[in-house]
């Protein structure tokens, strides 16, 4: 049985490499795009690598429970994004692409909540946990059908529901966005700017905001809350050049960097050595190292068979001709 273990491991690794079908999401009905649209100057991504996030800042999770950013990150490398549930296009596209990439990582044994976290924070100060929960459950169904009670896939809001001070909520979101270098604008930004010095008027204007103009990016954060990598745009199609977005392998490498090279268990790290991202197909495929691992037990099996045959032959040679020709004992007379 000890000879079969490497063979089984190799076969299991080969199964992990089988690409899954692209999920059809209940959100994100807009056509797939490969780069962000033209944006006004105030809506852009200005990466701030090395920035330490406010881990003690508190938000509300999909169930309305207050939680700090530190608790959401949970001491693990984290994929963080800023988006909002009512976004008509880009946020859904980014979430679709991200879940698709996380499914590819799961086939390598890297699972959200176990090896890393995903944290999505709404930029809409009016978005309450109930809306975040509905969208989260939809994506969980596509990701791996896990229980909604399982952590590791966080949809956070600054709003806690009825009675929320949306001006204070907006300020909290803007503060985090500024630390990330995520520049965005409301569809009624001029009215918001004009009402900046009138708290009562500002609240009314903020409540009238419907949409936001923004770019898209994934922020890879280290376990201590430091921004390690910024992946701008959407998932890149295999035929496009590198500057047109990111791939699942980019996320894996960024998580590996954020985790200081210790992403996943020792067995998972071994598995990752045996697979490489194929930019042509957009999937992970076994490398020659994996093929070698699969073939590893065969020389031992063949050697064992030869050794057994030789041992049997030597045993037969030790029998004398008399032993081989020895007649059967005579029957005893009654």
Domain ranges of the chain: 22-286
Instruction: Please give the structure tokens belonging to residue 321.
Output: 């001709």
Per-residue model confidence (pLDDT) at position 57: 96
Q: What percent of the chain has pLDDT over 90?
A: 55
Per-residue model confidence (pLDDT) at position 43: 83
* pLDDT tens, position by position, 64-93: 999 999 999 999 999 999 999 999 989 999
Mean pLDDT of 165-187: 96
Q: pLDDT band for 109, please (50, 70, 90 cuts).
A: confident
Instruction: Please give the structure tokens belonging to residue 238.
Output: 């295999």
Per-residue model confidence (pLDDT) at position 25: 35
Note the CATH architecture for domain 22-286: 3-Layer(aba) Sandwich (3.40)
What is the torsion angle, in degrees rounded to the nearest 10, for the CA atoms of residue 319, residue 324, residue 326 and residue 329?
Answer: 100
Per-residue model confidence (pLDDT) at position 273: 55
Per-residue model confidence (pLDDT) at position 127: 96
Per-residue model confidence (pLDDT) at position 236: 83
Q: Among 59-63, 105-109, 140-144, 153-157, whose mean pLDDT is lowest?
A: 105-109
Mean pLDDT of 316-326: 55
Whole-angstrom distance, CA of residue 51 vs CA of residue 69: 15
Instruction: Give the chain's mean pLDDT.
Output: 78
* pLDDT tens, position by position, 256-301: 999 986 664 454 445 555 545 455 555 555 554 545 555 556 566 6
- Asked whether residue 13 carries a pLDDT value surpassing 50, the answer given is no
Per-residue model confidence (pLDDT) at position 100: 93
* pLDDT tens, position by position, 191-233: 999 999 999 999 999 999 999 999 999 999 999 999 999 999 9
């Amino acid at each position: 049985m000890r000879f079969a273990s490497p063979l089984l491991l190799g076969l299991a690794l080969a199964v992990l490499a089988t690409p899954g079908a692209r999920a059809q999401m209940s959100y994100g009905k807009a056509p797939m795009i490969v780069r962000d649209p033209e944006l006004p100057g105030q809506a852009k991504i200005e990466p701030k690598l090395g920035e330490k996030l406010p881990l003690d800042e508190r938000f509300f999770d999909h169930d309305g429970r207050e939680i700090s950013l530190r608790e959401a990150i949970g001491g693990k490398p984290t994929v963080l994004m800023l988006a909002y549930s009512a976004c008509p296009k880009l946020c859904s596209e980014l979430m679709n692409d991200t879940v698709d990439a996380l499914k590819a990582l799961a086939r390598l044994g890297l699972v959200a909540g176990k090896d890393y976290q995903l944290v999505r924070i709404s930029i809409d100060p009016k978005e309450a946990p109930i809306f975040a929960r509905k969208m989260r459950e939809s994506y969980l169904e596509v990701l791996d059908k896990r229980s909604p009670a399982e952590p590791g896939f966080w949809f956070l809001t600054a709003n806690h529901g009825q009675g929320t001070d949306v001006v204070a909520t907006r300020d909290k979101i803007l503060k985090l966005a500024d630390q990330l270098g995520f520049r965005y604008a409301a569809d009624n930004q001029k009215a918001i700017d004009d009402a900046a010095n009138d708290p009562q008027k500002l609240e009314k204007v903020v409540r009238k905001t419907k949409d936001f103009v923004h770019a898209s990016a994934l922020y890879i954060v280290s376990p201590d809350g430091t921004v390690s990598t910024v992946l701008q745009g959407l998932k890149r199609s295999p035929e496009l050049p590198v500057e047109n977005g990111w791939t699942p392998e980019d996320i894996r490498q960024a998580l590996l960097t954020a985790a200081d090279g210790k992403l996943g268990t020792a067995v998972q790290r071994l598995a990752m050595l045996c697979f490489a991202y194929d930019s042509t197909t957009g999937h992970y495929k076994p490398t020659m190292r994996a093929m070698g691992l699969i073939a590893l037990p065969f020389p031992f099996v063949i050697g064992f068979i030869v050794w057994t045959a030789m041992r049997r032959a030597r045993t037969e040679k030790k029998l004398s001709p008399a032993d081989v020709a020895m007649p059967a004992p005579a029957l005893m007379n009654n």
